[in-house]
Amino acid sequence: MIQTQLYIDGRWQSPLEGGTRDILSPADESVIAQAAEGTRADAQIAIAAARRAFDGPWRQTTIRDRARLLNSIAALIDRDAEELARLESLNTGKTLTESRTDMGDIAATFRYFAGLVASESGAVNEAPHHVISRTLREPVGVCGLITPWNYPLLQAAWKIAPALGAGNTVIIKPSNLTPLTTHHFTKLIAELDLPAGVFNLVTGGAEVGAELAESRDVDLVSFTGGAFAGESIMKAATGNFKRIGLELGGKNPNIVFADADLDVAVDYALNAAFFHAGQVCSAGSRLMIEDSIYEAFVAKLAERLPRIAIGNGFHAETQMGPVQSAQQHEKILRMVQAGVAEGARLVYGGKRPEGDVYQKGYWLQPTLLADVTADMNIAKEEIFGPVVTAERFRSEDDALRAANDTPYGLAAAVWTRDLDKANRMSRALRFGTVWVNDYHPYFPEAPWGGYKASGIGRELARIGLDEYTELKHSYINLAPKAMGWFGA
Ligand code: NAD
């Protein structure tokens, strides 16, 4: 049985109050690990350790030291990639293929930020000859990093790599449903020669996250998760006006025009909606289809859904695993029923698959709700499960208005062969990412984040590093002389 501990001030330790939590397999509800369940008190000692480390010799590290550190982490991720991928699949239920892809992306994220950090040199500004004026980037300080359960280590990497690369100290708090890969990652960190307190792991629930958000000794909090917790973190952060980064939910329209390649668009629509059983913040869960191809598109989807192989993520033939928790399973079923009650047509799915192996665990059929209209709640609220809704639209304006009429703004996609239309739509859609004739790709080089209620700030890309820095204007007068402004 895997047992996890907290890692604070360079030492593995048990929570002060001795708390533990059973970690369940989403595939069969068996206990796969016992995780340390920290509390506010543990978060406080981790914050104090991170504060001391930030104010100590860690501040003297050079960009070369920190770039080397990120590259060393990437090498350790590569070394343990298979073990990490297996832990991620065990804990989240996602297929091993998906977890292996995640580990590759995580190592790439560390390498990308290593390169970026190494190229950081500040700027010398134009100024009078007796003055040296420089623009410098400095670390923000102590960073509280809070991550969700759907991409546990990937989301952590998007925060840890730029935070350490910029010279901050960190306390990471993964979701208490999925702490296993972040715990293993911390073992890799412990192999490296980092000063005590630079990297701290405090597993636990919302109270640990709340402490990170409220503490006046934390300078920045970066959170990925739902709107409810995001709102409370934003309010808590006002105590010391700490920097905040919020990556929140989405309701992402996947808009298919009649001139698109129908079979390709259907194929991608499946990937957009059912990859990782739809538990993706950018899932294409809201299909919008032009009127003239609507019936054909829905029919093609309906024909494909029963062929999706649902099963244990460790089996090679599995295409879709279970959802992650009992709570999520219940919520998704409730939302499907509510959608039907408000007039959506259940074309396929909406229940637990049949068969003995699916009776334990959090299994759901891929689900298609058709004839959805923009005013229905099912078209507006994030489902975060293997459910796609289909709406019809009659014109480009119609599609645009309905797609933008959501509090969210994370991602959208457009399918058309008309480049002018593709360009018009991608400019007019109010979303942080707009794909044309594709779905889901992201790169460390490109920014990730949402408009409106999908978040504040961006991760990845140069801006993803800049968010962990303060900008300083350093002005040095080399030959000060009396000014005489107020006379002699
Ligand atoms: P969640 O908000 O329930 O929890 C996220 C994290 O916050 C967990 O570690 C949790 O313990 C902690 N937390 C909960 N309440 C808190 C509080 N009051 N103060 C501080 N911390 C608190 O989210 P979840 O269910 O783990 O994740 C699913 C959500 O995450 C979805 O809405 C999804 O869209 C979103 N998400 C967004 C992105 C993105 O890039 N925008 C990526 C992945 C997931």
Percent of the chain with pLDDT strictly greater than 90:
99
When the pLDDT of each residue in the chain is averaged and rounded to a whole number, the result is 97
Residue 173 CA, closest ligand 1 atom number: 9
Q: How close is the Cα of 355 to the center of ligand 1, in Å? A: 32
Give one DSSP letter per residue of 48-91, joined into a string.
HHHHHHHHTGGGG--HHHHHHHHHHHHHHHHHTHHHHHHHHHHH
CA 74 to chain centre: 19
Helix (H) or strand (E) holding 412: strand 411-415
Question: pLDDT by residue (tens digit) across 20-36?
Answer: 999 999 999 999 999 99
Overall average pLDDT of the 39-65 stretch: 96
For residue 135, how many other CB atoms are within 10 A of its CB? 12
147 CA distance to ligand 1 centroid (A)?
Answer: 6
Give which of 113, 65, 108, 47 is closest to 468, Cα–Cα: 113
Spacing, Cα 224 to ligand 1 middle (Å): 5
Ligand 1 geometric centre to CA of 293 (Å): 37
Q: Give the bridge partners for 346, in sequence order.
A: 369
Mutate to test the pocket of ligand 1, among 171, 172, 175 (most ligand atoms within 8 A of CB): 175
Ligand 1 site-directed mutation target among 224, 252, 387, most atoms within 8 Å of CB: 224
Query: Which residues form ligand 1's pocket by a CB distance below 6 Å?
Result: 146-151, 155, 173, 175-176, 205-206, 209-210, 213, 224-226, 229, 232-233, 247-250, 281, 382, 384, 410, 450, 454-455
Please give the DSSP secondary-structure letter assigned to residue 371. S
pTM over 0.85: yes
Q: What pLDDT, in 10s, does the model give residues 443-480?
A: 999 999 999 999 999 999 999 999 999 999 999 999 99
What pLDDT, on the 0 to 100 scale, is given for residue 122?
A: 87
Alpha-carbon dihedral sign for residues 178, 179, 180, 182: positive
Which of 23, 102, 145, 150 to mutate for ligand 1's pocket (most ligand atoms within 8 Å of CB)?
150
